[in-house]
Structure 1
């Protein structure tokens, strides 16, 4: 799978997280997962008994740009006690299943209306309008009560993907810290899809989604995405991060609706395989667990995973 023209033609500096966001996120991690902040890293005690300082757990990158991340990883390479995450431009010869973060450079547009008219294809606008005509309505809130909608859908979605769910307390803490919001799309009063959005000063991370498996969402996800993009413009953001996905896969292809920049999600120390291949067998086994057991075990397990 070749990188798209939009992703490879321009060598834009990848997004990084701000220090204030990192500080608040680390406090959320401490309160919900027990990861002690060490400077701008979170100390993860793994199930194998190792202690690894990670920048940053549950996210694809951190406050470190490539040069700083490489320097930090090199200093601790022999002990392998540090894991750093950062982005670099996606090379044109990237292989399928390469972990890719897709992000919209909002600075290329005057405002949301300009992006709607000039940045989106007529086909995408048509799909969003159709979903709205069919009764899909997006709400956007920082009220922690919306976790009662988001988290059950998110738990089912994570289980279906074969991934342990994160602690609910993490999301509540992020909302209380003022670094998150929830976008939910409903039709006829029933939630079709709900998103948890992390909010840095100049960056929105469209980070986690929960889908209702009992309902046909149609193009409802596009309505939720557009609502979050509009909110990012209103906050004056430079970037809208659509999340990470394996290059060439269905999730990555969906993100291309928005003509994003594509960035390689790098972790150091590097591993021989992608995270998707590394955990493929474990994911298949996790999907076979009953939902009640996955819900209980997931938050406990992820606390000891430096790769999460």
Structure 2
């Protein structure tokens, strides 16, 4: 077996990795987050150094582990698979290959002197160096029917009533890409400020839209001509039908909560996923019984475990998490800043958060 590390991926290697992922025997171990094109997106938008570890047996690809080096003076150094995404950990044909890839990744962590390596898995893997994990959050995933009428019939009466309230405010849904990225980002940046969270850079979304032109799109909700809600949809780039549509980023302006724009938008997101041939809709991760968990559950989504595993070399895996108590005062301060300040400063901060 040969283990190789690539920092640059050419079109031939990208195609080979995609073919390997699409034909993998364990389809549940592969997600759209594994698409190797994400590596250039994150590198270009977040200024991360990328490492793709692959295993070959008789020149055939038998394992794949994407990693990005997240580094900043403020937080430190980390290897992550992958930032911004929820499910981009190890994919391999057998246990021997998994161990070989993890040995190489552990050595990479040592060479670059990271505090820890974080592997974002659906199911955990076994390795002596993976000594800690976080599994308190679950992915909320909805099995989609074949048409929007069936979706409507499956919704509870309370959910349908909230969607109908949105109809009364004459909301309109607009789909696009780079042409509406400014509208999306304006809403997104305001919402992130209100949450007390540093905002991702605008070019993260432009990179996603340029890299996945066939499967990434933005949806914008307008009220009286103003963009009041927006979402990024990623339709499965590794499966032509029956795949998973995910919504990695979505926001609504709080002053328009009375319009039920968020509920109205999510109904349209689900209908769009059905229209695009998706078999499931991934609402993203939530802590059980949290507000976001209950929001997703009302649509019929069911929890699927996630296991984020850690090779810790020093420090605490919870130290840079936004929900750490030590950040409470900073979050409150951030919420009071003008949006233009958060848009200016936020991207340089979030680049360093694993």
Q: TM-score range by the shorter chain?
A: 0.7 to 0.9
Whichever of the two has the greater Rg, that structure is 2
CA root-mean-square deviation: 3.2
Equivalent of 1:17 in 20, 24, 31: 31
Q: Is the 8 A contact 1:18 1:63 kept in 2?
A: no
Q: Distance in 1 between matches of 2:346 and 2:28?
A: 31
The equivalent of 1:99 in structure 2 is: 137
Distance in 2 (CA, whole Å) between partners of 1:285 and 1:22 is: 37
Q: How many residues align?
A: 282
Larger RCO (CA under 8 A, 6+ residues apart): 1
Residue among 145, 159, 164 paired with 2:193? 159
Is 1:254 the counterpart of 2:267? The answer is no
1:233 corresponds to which residue? 274
| Preserved contact between residue 229 and residue 262 of structure 2 (Cα < 8 Å) | yes
Aligned counterparts of 1:46 and 1:172: Cα–Cα separation in 2? 23
Question: Does residue 122 of the first structure (1) align with residue 163 of the second (2)?
Answer: no
Tell whether 2:57 aligns with 1:31: no
The C-alpha deviation readout for 1:78-117, integer Å capped at 9, x for no partner, is 846521112359xxxxxxx9323211122xx333322222
Question: Compared with structure 1, are the counterparts of its residues 37 and 217 closer, same or farther at alpha carbon in structure 2 (3 Å cutoff)?
Answer: farther
Q: Distance in 1 between matches of 2:44 and 2:271?
A: 31
CA contact (8 A) 2:120 2:309 kept: yes
Deviations, residues 154-181 of structure 1 (Å, cap 9, x unaligned)? 1111111111100100101111112421
CA 1:128 to 1:215, structure 2 compared with 1: closer, same or farther past 3 Å?
closer
Following superposition, the deviation at residue 17 of structure 1 comes to 1.8
- Structure 2 distance, partners of 1:154, 1:128, is 22
In the superposition, the TM-score normalised over structure 2's length comes to 0.69
Length-normalised TM-score, structure 1: 0.79
Q: Identify which of 340, 344, 350 aligns with 1:292.
A: 340
Structure 2 stretches lacking a partner, 5+ long: 1-26, 53-65, 125-134, 238-242
The offset of 1:65, in angstroms, is 6.4
Paired residue secondary structure (1:210): strand
In the TM superposition, 1:66-215 aligns within 5 A as 76=106, 79=110, 81-88=116-123, 98-106=136-144, 109-117=145-153, 119-142=154-177, 144-177=178-211, 178=213, 179-201=215-237, 202-215=243-256
For the pair 1:221 / 2:259, whether they are aligned, the reply is: no
